Amino acid sequence: MKLRNKVAIITGSGRGIGKAIAIEFAREGCVVVVNYLHSEEEAMKTVEEIKQIGSDAFPIKADVSKINDVKMMIEKTLEKFGRVDILVNNAGVITRPGDYKNMSEEDFNKTIDVNLKGVYNCIKAVIPAMKKQGNGRIINIASVFGMLGAAPVAAYCAAKAGVINLTKSFAKELAPEILVNCVAPGTIDTEMTRAGGEELIKWISENTPLKRIGNPQEIGKAVLFLASDDSSFITGHTLVVDGGYSLK
């Protein structure tokens, strides 16, 4: 079991990609802190699924865009489990319509605050505990669109591009004790994606070499790799998991 006795905080893990990561970690013996903000019912279901697997899980409500919430989440984790071995920054939002003509300043700020500032907040807050332990893994969830851009969601793309750069910056600053890496998914079958409509999914599938969108479990396995000792000589890297979409 690759993560036996490890403790992981996974933000936004009540559903979607975050939940898939949590389940993959639990199967490898990891204790999981299931962070959520609005999806309490889903978070509790994730906790129960993890316990049925035979691992331990603990739900914590926290808004990653607010530093005091993040500090509370880290403190509660340390009080209960005594350490934080892995941080997965998965929480994110996408606003639709997201084009510049229709996006309000409030929606723009929320997109940056959750997707980019939230990652920064969580990394900053967890560093002291990981430094004290002498080790740690941080995996940030960005997006292939943070590398390619996409016309109707400029704020989202800008935030995810920032996440990729934060990964590189913190990888340099926190080495050699703490490894910091990033996963950049393509289009994945989640509620967020489905909200964009079937036509969008069809178009992306047709323009992807593997002729489909991904599933959350495929991202979970990629994150598991970066969280485990299998990736012990990798830091500052962005692992693209997009079915070849970015090759076009």
Q: Considering the domain boundaries, does residue 2 fall inside one?
A: no
Count of other CB atoms within 10 angstroms of residue 210: 12
**pLDDT for res 179:** 98
- Interatomic CA distance for residues 63 and 111, integer angstroms: 13
Distances (CA, A) of 196 to 5, 42, 85, 153, 166: 39, 21, 35, 11, 27
Q: Considering the domain boundaries, does residue 158 fall inside one?
A: yes
**pLDDT for res 213:** 96
**pLDDT for res 98:** 82
Q: How many domains does the chain have?
A: 1
Q: Considering the domain boundaries, does residue 246 fall inside one?
A: no
What does DSSP assign to residue 213?
-
Looking up residue 237, the CATH number of its domain turns out to be 3.40.50.720
Name the one residue in this structure whose structure tokens are 């299931």: 34
**pLDDT for res 97:** 77
Q: Considering the domain boundaries, does residue 235 fall inside one?
A: yes
Q: Considering the domain boundaries, does residue 1 fall inside one?
A: no
- Report the predicted TM-score, pTM, of the whole model to 2 decimal places: 0.96
**pLDDT for res 193:** 85
**pLDDT for res 154:** 94
The residue segments making up the domain with residue 187 are: 7-241
Question: Which is the catalytic residue, given 36, 120, 156, 245?
Answer: 156
Where helices occur in 175-215 by DSSP H, the ranges are 191-194, 198-206
Q: Considering the domain boundaries, does residue 27 fall inside one?
A: yes
**pLDDT for res 248:** 73
**pLDDT for res 26:** 98
Residues of the chain predicted below pLDDT 50 = none
Q: Considering the domain boundaries, does residue 42 fall inside one?
A: yes
| Helix count and strand count (H, E) for the chain | 10, 7
**pLDDT for res 96:** 79
Count of other CB atoms within 10 angstroms of residue 237: 15
Q: Considering the domain boundaries, does residue 247 fall inside one?
A: no
**pLDDT for res 151:** 87
Q: What one-character-per-residue DSSP string does 126-174 give?
A: HHHHHHHHT-EEEEEE--THHHH--TT-HHHHHHHHHHHHHHHHHHHHH
CB-facing half-sphere around the CA of 102: CA atoms within 13 A: 8
Active site residue 100: no
